[in-house]
Amino acid sequence: MIGVGHGGARARERAFPAVRVPCSWCDAEFGVPEFLDHCRFHWRDVRVVRWDCPRCGKWEDVALEPDEIRRGYVYAAGVPHFAHMDGSNVPGLRPRRADAALRVEYGGRVWHVPDLGAF
């Protein structure tokens, strides 16, 4: 986020700690912006994002929560559910639902992950 300083201080981008997010399949690690660049679509009913690994090409279901990326899988037991298995702490991650996308803010950037719709 861009902060406006008080008393004439210059605006600056908010710095977050370096976080590396690994692929569960190939163990390649990615910075948060690169990870978010590869989020393909959002399933609003389950609150899950499909992420494609740029290294191995496999996909994962992830839930983007405030300050956390959660890994898991979707299963159906009458209705679809997300089972959280593992996670990465990502201070400053701010996902918000929008009409046609999931809006994600991090480190002064914004991503819009297209909404796949309902199951």
Rounded to two decimals, the pTM is: 0.82
Span 9-15, average pLDDT = 47
What does the pLDDT read at residue 116?
86
What does the pLDDT read at residue 77?
87
More confident of the two residues 27 and 17: 27
Asked whether 68 and 89 are in contact (CB, 8 A), the reply is yes
- pLDDT band, residue 54 (cuts 50/70/90): very high
For a pLDDT cut of 90, what percent of the chain falls above it? 76
- Amino acid letter, residue 49: V
Taking CA atoms, 82 is separated from 20, 31, 40, in Å, by 23, 24, 17
Q: How far apart are CA 79 and CA 108, in angstroms?
A: 36
Asked whether 102 and 95 are in contact (CB, 8 A), the reply is yes
What does the pLDDT read at residue 67?
98
| Residue 19 structure tokens | 């976080």
Span 22-28, average pLDDT = 96
